[in-house]
Every structure is written in C-alpha cells, then in structure tokens.
Amino acid sequence: MMIFPSDCRIELPVAVTIIIVFDRILQTIFRVSTVQIPGISQLLPSLYLCGASVISGKALEHLAISFVINIAPELPDTPLPHSNFNCRVLYLRINAFDLPNANLSVHFDEVTDMIETVRQTGGRTLVHCVAGVSRSTTFCLAYLIKYAGMNLREAFFHTKAIRPQIRPNLGFFQQLRAYEQHLHGVVSINMVYYECIRCKIPDVYETEYRAMEDFYQKQKKFKRLHRY
C-alpha cells in the first residue's frame, strides 16, 4: 500500500485530486526505475548483479528489490530493508563456494524459475556473492539463457558489457554449457586447450590468455632449437 503525504489530502474537486495522486505515483515509479547505485549492475529491468560490499538495506529499498539471492556461505546474511519498508523482501541463501568443483547446476532450475516468477509479479531480483564476479554471475547467466532468449555466448557478452569484471570459474562455465545443451540442444561456447596453463578454457576467455600462450610457445620452440 502506498501512503501519500498529508498535503495530498486537501479539499479539491475529485478529478483534480485524482490527477495529483496519479502524478505522485508516476513520480515514485520514475524515481525507482531510474535510480543507479555504484557497484550494482542492472542486467535487465528486473535483474541486478553485485558484490556484497555495496549492499545495504537502503540500497535495496531505493532499487525496489523484492528478492535477494546470496551465494556466499563465507558471508553473514544480506542486510535487508527495515521493517517499515512497504515491500516484503524474499531472501534465498545458497551455500556454495567459488570452487570449480562446486555444483551450482543443481540449483539452476529452482533459482531461475524463482527469478522469473518474481519478474512476472512485477518484482525485482538482486543476485550477489562476495565480488559479483563468479557465483552470482553464473546464476544470472543461467537465467538469461533460460528466460531472456539468449544463448550462453550472448548472455555472457551482454552481462560483460554492463559489468566488465565478470568471470565465472572454469567449472561453473562447464556447468553453464551443459545447462545450455540441456535447454536448447546446442552449445554456443567452445572449450579451448591452452598448453601454457594445461587446461581448457572457454573461448570467450581467449583474449586473456593469448599473449601468455604465444610467449609459452615461443619459449618452447627456442628451447627445442637450442637443446643441442
């Protein structure tokens, strides 16, 4: 329920009163929908991604967040808005560390479905871990490929354009590739072997490793030529 200031309750013709009240409603909606908070990235009108350090009850209130997902067992519970906030905030905590062998995929369907349900009811979701780089990004990408009409490659570059520091670990990327295969029957990101680090990486990470791989191959060739 929205409570208006007492100065709205004046004796005016009904039509004028309705116009004043409606204008106050529009101002409130516009203010909520355009507010930006440094460190909190808006991926969609109803989906936000961030690290823990920028979250406060006031920030959640300003953004009109109605659902918070915390994927960081090493952190305390997320600070939620005070009890006088006019929207009850749902809260989900997932205990998973940022390790390649941590299985986030067992939660993909449940979490993405909850985010979509919140969107359909006019709410907004904020997903966070410690830094807003790996775990929380993984769940946001899972949502984008399930409900936003994007493949994994499109979802990754869409999110990276808004939040450049994203970097799901290699294990999470493999889980996302498997999830995309399960949902759509295709895989849009390939895994490429890099000898310099002796493992496969997603092809979207190649620019980070290309110089290292080139240097490694040059050194390998030099040693081979000068072995005798």
Domain with 79 in it: what CATH number? Answer: 3.90.190.10
Identify the active-site residue in 50, 87, 129, 140: 129
Neighbours of 126 (CB within 10 A): 24
The verdict on residue 90 lying in a domain is yes
User: CB under 8 Å to 123, separation ≥6 — which residues?
Assistant: 46, 66, 67
The residue ranking higher by pLDDT, 216 or 39, is 39
Mean pLDDT, the chain, rounded, equals 84
The tally of domains found in the chain comes to: 2
My answer on whether 119 and 218 are in the same domain is no
- Single-letter code of the amino acid located at 171: G
My answer on whether 118 and 145 are in the same domain is yes
SS (H, E, C) 46-81: CEEEECHHHCCHHHHHHCCCCEEEECCCCCCCCCCC
User: Across the strands, what pairs with 70?
Assistant: 93, 128
My answer on whether 162 and 206 are in the same domain is no
| Confidence bin at 114 (pLDDT 50/70/90) | very high
My answer on whether 41 and 76 are in the same domain is yes
- Single-letter code of the amino acid located at 178: A
- Alpha carbon distance 152, 194 (integer Å): 21
My answer on whether 146 and 184 are in the same domain is yes
- Alpha carbon distance 58, 67 (integer Å): 14
pLDDT at 141 over 70: yes
My answer on whether 139 and 201 are in the same domain is no
Among 121, 115, 145, 135, which residue's Cα sits nearest to residue 50? 135
Q: Tell me which residue has tokens 């004796």.
A: 11
My answer on whether 165 and 203 are in the same domain is no
The verdict on residue 30 lying in a domain is no
Neighbours of 93 (CB within 10 A): 13
The verdict on residue 181 lying in a domain is yes
pLDDT at 48 over 90: yes
The verdict on residue 161 lying in a domain is yes
The verdict on residue 64 lying in a domain is yes
User: Across the strands, what pairs with 124?
Assistant: none
My answer on whether 165 and 211 are in the same domain is no
My answer on whether 50 and 125 are in the same domain is yes
My answer on whether 109 and 198 are in the same domain is no
| Confidence bin at 189 (pLDDT 50/70/90) | very high
The tokens describing 46, both together, are 């109803």
| Confidence bin at 30 (pLDDT 50/70/90) | very low
My answer on whether 46 and 132 are in the same domain is yes
| Confidence bin at 160 (pLDDT 50/70/90) | very high
What dihedral do alpha carbons 151, 153, 158, 162 form, nearest 10°? 140
pLDDT at 4 over 60: no
Domain that holds residue 195: 191-227
Known catalytic residue at 50: no
My answer on whether 212 and 117 are in the same domain is no
